[in-house]
Amino acid sequence: MASAPSLTVPRLDDLALSGKRVLVRVDFNCPQDDTGKITDDTRIRAAVPTIREVLGKGGKPILLSHLGRPKGKVVESMRLAPMGARLQELLGSPVVILKESTGPAVVAAIASAPRGSVVLLENVRFHDGDEKGDSALAAQWAQLGDCFVNDAFGAAHRDHASVCGIARLLPSAAGRLMEKEIAAFGRVLEKPERPLVAILGGAKVSDKLQVVDHLLDKVDALLVGGGMTYTFLSARGGAIGKSLVQKDQLDAVRGCLAKAAARKVEILLPEDHVCAEAFDEGAKPIATGAEIPEGLMGLDIGPKTRERYAARIQSARTVVWNGPMGVFEWPAFRGGTEAVGRAVAACPGYTVVGGGDSVAAVEMLGLASRIRHISTGGGASLELLETGTLPGIQALQGSQAPRAGS
């Protein structure tokens, strides 16, 4: 068996920052309302510690971020000016907001930016070469700085010019947010305290099968919920009514079940369900046992399953959770996700919630403060669980960061 990838990366302490132009890849892809007002500034707040540290060590932070999907064109509603204004409020330091990210005017603006200020480049995705990983574009950005810090975990699963390309050209390190994310998943994937329990939900089993396969080499138990449940149950010959099932995945699921049995990994599947006659928020919830009758579809795990899952979570020393247990956006089918969320929050072990809908659920339920680590990257956390590494991590590992003071 091949050895697992290492998650060790250069840290901010490894870079000499004083007097340096420090390119920092951040994730300011924040939601906005129709007027452009930021409705959730969590991602901006998450970047503040790294930016403050660069300033405190005498560096000039030059920030790169994407916003939305402009597809290589300038889209006025996707400019980063609102994020720069909010960052200035949070930092209490001046932020120079540019309307481009390359070219002579950018070079001049960086050179003239006052000491103690931050420079925010325009949306990197206004250049179609960013998402293509264009090396020439990465080189243009690299010329703007003396070193590079990646603090955008939410984009670290993308081999983009602003994420990986710059890291291949400059001395580079992880920012404090990236470092925190890597450390959290390292505790899950490298040397977890046992028992290690993974909880996977979500709609499509095809989105999670590679994650399941990878985790079966690491976990002691796997708890399955959400729409993917019904393909697992169907693969075992269970009755699932008209629940969501991916028939083309049945053989692959059977392979996962066989692998789990061979490795003595416990896979827990629902033994009762909350169903409805239609996929509709106003549908009447109907409780069933293990077998779902014809004409009904499963939309949440049932009370017995909630108790069983909660007990297994409570006995764990490490827990990682990605994906809701049902259609948690609808109150009638939220009970399973809430029960699992409360069990994770009450678990005495190390708990990680891996981005996306799981984070939305714990925040909706007011449980976020009781989780040890909540990831800022849904897609990135899922790929990290699937492969054990990310392109952004590998790019940092390939960088030769000079020691501070060297």
Q: Is 366 a catalytic residue?
A: no
In 3-state terms, the chain is what percent helix, strand and coil (to 5)? Answer: 40, 15, 45
Q: Is 295 a catalytic residue?
A: no
Q: Determine how many CB atoms are found less than 10 A away from the CB of residue 201.
A: 26
CB 130 within 8 A of CB 137: yes
3-state secondary structure of 384: helix
Cis previous bond, 195, omega within 30: yes
Give the chain's end-to-end CA distance (angstroms, integer): 39
In angstroms, rounded to a whole number, what is the distance separating the alpha carbons of residues 292 and 105? 65
Q: Choosing from 25, 43, 79, 218, which is the catalytic residue?
A: 43
Q: Is 36 a catalytic residue?
A: no
Pairing of the two strands 350-353 and 373-374: parallel
Which strand ranges, in their side-by-side order, compose the sheet holding 21-25?
95-97, 118-120, 60-64, 21-25, 147-150, 172-174
Torsion sign (Cα): 372, 376, 379, 380? negative
| Residue among 101, 7, 21, 10 at smallest CA distance from 59 | 21
DSSP 162: I
Q: Choosing from 226, 356, 377, 392, which is the catalytic residue?
A: 356
Q: Write down the residue that tokens 């990878």 correspond to.
A: 214
3-state secondary structure of 41: coil
Q: Choosing from 52, 57, 204, 370, which is the catalytic residue?
A: 204
Token pair of 215, please?
């985790």
Q: Is 405 a catalytic residue?
A: no
What are the start-end ranges of the E strands in 237-282?
A: 266-268, 273-276
The DSSP-derived string for 325-381 is SS-TTSGGG-HHHHHHHHHHHH-SSEEEE-STHHHHHHHHTT-GGGSSEE-S-HHHH
Positions marked active-site: 43, 204, 356, 379
